[in-house]
Amino acid sequence: MEVQNTHKNAVSELGFSSIPGVYSNDEVDAIIQLITKTDTTRDTFRKSKELFAIRQFLKEIPNINELVFNENLQNIIRNYFGEDYFVVKSIYFDKPETSNWYVAYHQDLTISVDQKIEINDFGPWTVKQNQFAVQPPLSILENIFTVRIHLDDTDENNGALKVIEKSHAKGIYRPETIDWNTETEAICSVPKGGIMIMKPLLLHGSNRTTNHKKRRVIHIEFSNITLPEGLNWSERIN
């Protein structure tokens, strides 16, 4: 219980925490195998030399759910956040060994919804792969938490997330205004089979790889909020 509270407090205070050993090597390999067998020609799949990404991941590969939501992850969600949280977004990222993407510091400020409705404090709106996305009020963003499942060992040499500690508690925080005299940067190394829990308002980015190793991550966002005025989470899974 003490270890559990340590991670929960870290997410609350720092904006993130990493937990190793949530998946066995066999479980990770089974997830990768199922992804590899999937038809990648649909609109929600993006594939190039630099990146392979699957939006609406849990919907596009429904058989993956049983593997992803193993007993360990279910217990973590239940014990850390409560019984009433549900999935609101899922993405799979595969940055191959040859990819050398650099991701600048940013916050995750949009949610995926089923339609465009003009509602006060919701906006701006965008559309990607026939998916509506909108920036909601701050209270909704503050309620969300993200679980990043690492299918490879990830450290500072192959694009592990770098974050600004406690930045999730500062509202909308523009990267160009970061005061490096007062902020603390951390590198979030996560072993294969481990997870990182983070708040989407946490400023985060990643450096280019220097060791040319793969970094495959499943990104799942959770909330327990019902959206207003007939707006619905487009990817909701209970």
Whether pLDDT at 100 is above 90: no
Q: Which long-range contacts (CB under 8 A, 24 or more apart) does 5-8 make?
A: 7/80, 7/197, 8/80
| The pLDDT of residue 146 | 98
What is the arrangement of strands in the sheet containing 125-128, beginning at the earlier edge strand? 111-113, 131-134, 125-128
The percent of residues above 90 in pLDDT, for the chain, comes to 72
Helix, strand, coil shares, percent, the chain, to 5? 25, 30, 45
Q: 3-class DSSP state for residue 204?
A: strand
Full-model pTM: 0.93
Whether pLDDT at 45 is above 70: no
Q: Which domains does the chain carry? A: 2-223 (2.60.120.620)
| The pLDDT of residue 6 | 85
| The pLDDT of residue 11 | 95
What is the arrangement of strands in the sheet containing 16-19, beginning at the earlier edge strand? 16-19, 195-198, 145-150, 215-223, 86-95, 52-55, 45-47
The percent of residues above 70 in pLDDT, for the chain, comes to 91
Name which of 211, 145, 201 is nearest 173 in CA terms: 201
121-143 pLDDT, tens digit each: 999 999 987 789 999 999 999 99
Across 33-45, average pLDDT: 79
66-82 pLDDT, tens digit each: 999 999 999 999 988 88
- Model confidence at 96, in pLDDT bands (50, 70, 90)? low
| The pLDDT of residue 128 | 80
| The pLDDT of residue 1 | 47
Query: Which of 43-57, 112-126, 210-224 comes out lowest in average pLDDT?
Result: 43-57
Mean pLDDT, all residues of the chain: 91
